[in-house]
Amino acid sequence: MNSKLTIYGDMRSGNCLKVKWVVDFLRLPYQWIETRAGTGATKDPAFLTLNPQGQVPVLVLGDGRVLAQSNAIVLHLAEATPLTPDDSYERARMWEAMFWEQYSHEPAIAVRRWRLHFLGMPETDLDPSLLDRGRLALELMEDKLATQAWIACNIFTCADIALLAYTRMANEGGFNLASYPHVSRWITRCESRLALGPYVSAPRQIPV
């Protein structure tokens, strides 16, 4: 993976930041093309030829091949690196956490954050199940992290990166991270591995 990568992403999006953290961690050369969700940029005909789903992140490899879906990109970039366990069962544990992230965690926590923080929707207009499902996801993480340092394996993996993305921003979705002390300490551990400072809330930018 030594030819230059191109990443289309939105710096406010956890899904996109996952990809940025992996390329930074692995010191891979890349160019970042800021492509804001909710502005029409992801529905532009030229962008749709890259990803017909009209979503970021999108990775373009040095030879022109294209890949979408944040966790697929992360796993591809991190193959055969210290972010991916050698043992096949441990690798499956990592994937387990990442599939769970996309099916049960992100659809509640990221969606609630987007609607509340960026679209400025009042709490009363939000689907109440988002709060319940997001809290359940955080409780499951809290239970796990009470007895282990990393979310899926005994080493820091792609699963920690995938789950860090929106967990770290959960307060913007109306969740209270202070209620999850093991999760909070894990966030700090992940930030330290990735050489990130503590999360600074993204300014509200309501799309026009």
Ligand X SMILES: N[C@@H](CCC(=O)N[C@@H](CS)C(=O)NCC(=O)O)C(=O)O
**Binding residues vs ligand X (CB under 6 A):** 10, 13, 15, 37-38, 42, 54-57, 69-71, 102
Q: Which amino acid belongs to residue 31?
A: Q
Which positions ≥6 away from 6 have C-beta within 8 Å?
A: 30, 31, 33, 59, 60
C-beta closer to ligand X: residue 19 or 187: 19
C-beta closer to ligand X: residue 38 or 174: 38
C-beta closer to ligand X: residue 37 or 130: 37
Q: How far is the CB of 12 from ligand X (least distance, A)?
A: 8
Q: How far is the CB of 56 from ligand X (least distance, A)?
A: 4
Q: How far is the CB of 43 from ligand X (least distance, A)?
A: 6
CA atoms of 81 and 75, how far apart (whole Å) = 10
Please report the beta strands in the chain, taking only residues with DSSP state E, as ranges in sequence order: 5-9, 30-34, 58-60, 66-68
CB 149 within 8 A of CB 89: no
C-beta closer to ligand X: residue 99 or 179: 99
66: which 2 tokens?
């294209």
CA atoms of 2 and 157, how far apart (whole Å) = 21
C-beta closer to ligand X: residue 52 or 195: 52
Q: How far is the CB of 53 from ligand X (least distance, A)?
A: 8
Q: How far is the CB of 58 from ligand X (least distance, A)?
A: 9
Q: How far is the CB of 57 from ligand X (least distance, A)?
A: 6
CA atoms of 89 and 52, how far apart (whole Å) = 33
Which positions ≥6 away from 9 have C-beta within 8 Å?
A: 16, 17, 19, 20, 32, 33, 34, 35, 56, 57, 58
C-beta closer to ligand X: residue 41 or 149: 41
